[in-house]
């Protein structure tokens, strides 16, 4: 049986929730959906420059869950940059 998803502690709420390549109409773009917890993982690790253990504690999740979340976010961002896709940030 699958365990219910643990609520993550998220301190950052972005004002901007959409990024797209310049000069390409939105209707011609495919999107990558970045979850709010994935954005928080990116912020803590790369913007705040915290180690993974500290990031996981701040988000109130295990270090392995943090690693999976960060990896998922990095893959989505790389996909958008390499393939010219828009990034939509889902906030709650």
Per-residue model confidence as pLDDT tens digits over 10-19: 888 889 999 9
Average pLDDT over residues 66-75: 98
The pair of structure tokens assigned to 6 is 């643990």
Decide: 12 and 77 in contact? Cβ < 8 Å. Answer: no
Answer whether residue 30 shows pLDDT above 90: yes
Average pLDDT over residues 77-90: 96
> Model confidence at 92, in pLDDT bands (50, 70, 90)?
low
Q: What is the model's pTM? A: 0.88
Of 17-26, 40-49, 65-74, the one with minimum mean pLDDT is 17-26
C-alpha to C-alpha distances, 32 to 1, 53, 82, nearest whole angstrom: 29, 27, 12
Of the candidates 83, 90, 75, 87, the one whose C-alpha atom is nearest the C-alpha of residue 40 is 90
């Amino acid at each position: 049986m699958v365990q219910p998803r643990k609520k993550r502690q998220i301190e950052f709420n972005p004002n901007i929730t959409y990024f797209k390549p310049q000069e390409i109409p939105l209707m011609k773009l495919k999107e990558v959906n970045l979850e709010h917890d994935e954005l928080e993982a990116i912020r803590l690790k790369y913007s705040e420059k915290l180690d993974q253990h500290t990031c996981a504690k701040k988000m109130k999740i295990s270090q392995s869950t943090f690693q999976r979340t960060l990896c998922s976010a990095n893959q989505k961002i790389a996909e958008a940059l390499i393939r010219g896709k828009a990034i939509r940030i889902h906030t709650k």
